[in-house]
Amino acid sequence: MSPLWTTHPSGKAMYTMIGIGVITAALALVCLASPGRIAFEGLVALMGVLFILSPWVMSFTPGAGYTPLAWTAWIVGIVALVAGAADVQVTRTQRQTGEVVTGH
């Protein structure tokens, strides 16, 4: 959703951010609906990595008029990566100790 409040030239940067954002949000909802599935939690972390790399891969780095969009991608990417990795670790710990993984 960042293209709605950041100023930038439109094009592939806008579509990249919207696409990655929608996929990440859908994966996060799946994780909330069925906790304890490491595969989906790991995919949220992977989406965080994609967010972090997207400014360089899709050429919307700072200095080319994309500074707010690039910073948004990096911040959202770090949050998604940390949240996804932490959730994977919690699920692994629960499985190793024999705790039942239930809804939060």
Residue pLDDT, tens place only, 24-35:
899 888 888 877
- The answer to whether residue 44 sits within a structural domain is yes
Residue 6 lies in a domain: no
Total domains, the chain: 1
How far is Cα 101 from Cα 79, in angstroms, rounded to an integer?
Answer: 23
Residue 92 lies in a domain: yes
- Residue environment code for 86-95, b if the CB has 16+ CB neighbours within 10 A, otherwise e: ebbeebeeee
Look up the domain containing 88 and give its range: 13-97
Range with the largest mean pLDDT of 5-9, 52-56, 95-99: 52-56
Residue 63 in any domain: the answer is: yes
* pLDDT score, position 34: 77
Residue 4 falls inside a structural domain: no
pTM: 0.77
Q: Taking CA 34 as the corner, what is the angle to CA 33 and CA 36, rounded to the nearest 5 degrees? A: 140
Q: pLDDT for 52-80, tens place per residue?
A: 999 888 888 777 677 888 888 899 999 99
Q: Which residue has the tokens 């960042």?
A: 2
